[in-house]
Chain A
Amino acid sequence: MSAETAQNARRSGGASLFTDQRFRSLFYQALVVGLLGAFIVFIVFNTAQNIEKRGIQTGFDFLSAPAGYDIAISPFIEYTAQHSHGRVFLVGLFNTLLVSALGIIAATILGVFLGVLRLSPNWLVSRVVYCYVEMTRNVPLLLQILLWYAIFLGLPSVKQSMSFFNDTFFLNQRGLILPEPLPSDGFMWVPIALIIGLVASFIFAKWAHKTQDATGKIYPVFLINTAMILGLPILAFAAMGFPLDFAYAELKGFNFKGGMTIKPEFTALWFALSLYTAAFISETVRAGIQSVSHGQTEASEALGLRPSWTMRLVVLPQALRVIIPPMTSQYLNLTKNSSLAVAIGYPDIVQSFGGVTLNQTGQAIEVIFITMLVYLTISLVISSFMNWYNNRVRLVER
């Protein structure tokens, strides 16, 4: 008997189809897909039946119907009770985007700052940050939102408003009241100068890089660019003779007239989201910096690179690859957590569109579907941007 036939005999001997590894894994996969499909068919069928039984009208017509309720905060688009539910959707969407974007910015700045401080050799500084992180991230976010809201509602009433800088700013339980900027002719040059500054600094950075490659000369790019981005608008502002007036708020009767108000609902949500997420980000940043071995710093310094360059050229590029994936999760968390706005009545998409509109129209499936789609879209945009960035800083290994 040749070796080959012996092997064949062994292979067929006593083997059923079910002991075959490939068949078995195919079988289980097919089983799972089949069960999942059956479950989905059941859900859809059941829902359709229930909707029909109760005589609920389906469809997206409700979006053009008048909403009939007020929304307290709509900084970007005009909204009154006569506007449609579709408009409510936009107001809610913008409010969600506003608090998420500002939250991400504040949490990132504060988190990076705290993460670096946590590594400080100063015992007191690192302990204070440690206490902050542990206290913030171990208390449920909802409680923190309620706490901040309670603090802001505990401020003096309108009549007893706190006044700052000679009646320029007022603080009371209805919010922070600021003078409203009224740009006059020529103010448009300020944003134009800002754009010119941004473009110029981009070009300068490229030019400085090329010049360094060619001649070795190193320019203080960061300093010069900061000066351009901040300086050009200020210059333009001064050159046009300061074309900006302010409408100061005044107490008339029971409320303030004029000026702009930042509502306590927004501030409470923004504070809580930023402070809570910053605690997580600071831990991420600390872990990222600590993940770069001390040998890297030593090798860099032994080559004569100064500590600031070592940080910029050697440590940070390596720390970023550790920091970015969990940072992405934190950004996604913050965005989704902003839906806790519903607890204090900040009109984000869940509170306004997903809450009041749903209750008034009864179009639960459509409203929930749209709202979920919004979060899914925002999350996918954030994570694809972060993945793109992560790919740029990725390490090549064997």
Chain B
Amino acid sequence: MNRIEKKWKELKRKGLKAFIAFVTAGDPSLQDTYKLVLEMEKQGADIIELGVPFSDPIADGPVIQASAQRALLKGVNLNKIFQLVKELRKKTDVPLVFLSYYNPIFHYGVKKFVEDAVRYGIDGVIVADLPPEEAKELKIFSSKKWLDTIFLAAPTSSKERLIKVAKESTGFIYCVSVAGVTGVRNSLAQTLKNRVQDIKRITKKPVAVGFGVSNTKTAKWVASFADGVIVGSAIVKVVKDNLNSKDLIGKIGRLVENLALSIHKV
């Protein structure tokens, strides 16, 4: 059993929904990411997604694009992120999931990537531009290890595709709330609820909803029908607004605390 599976069991026992928080690794610096991860865990994040920056992030809106760009300018790469993970693992057992695009992984070498990810303490990987059809190589290696491969279910996915995504996913299923890129949105379509229920009829695996969840109200609503709520851009936006602030960690902590409360209360 890896840390993600343990976490879902623990949450289920307590009757809680999961709060999954995203930050880009290395924005504004790897030292800050280290502190942010520990703070977010302390304030109630159940699973933490670390964004692996990529130069051409086609599934991301302006907030996360700019964040990745800031990290790349600092010279962040997979090797350095693995060192960060290694340091984090001395302090925490919070489940850590990579959110990446395929090329940095492919270029690193898929086999080596999986081995190193597991060795340093990564529990799962989400690849934004890798549908199950193209994931054979990643699956071959990850299935031998305890590295979860989390695929995305989209609002446009047909039933056949949902079945495929559910079958190939381990850890949880990432349900994309809207057709579009990542980013802050004021509200989400009511149909999202039906979508999550469609997926839950297909699979017993946990379903977490991401893209556009940006305030406590939406987070609470999503938590009422999904197993987990993923918040990315709203957190990264606060990072961006506090790049030079001494209170960066504190501000993110308070945001995460509020989100965690609204999700866990459901």
Chain B associates with chain A = no
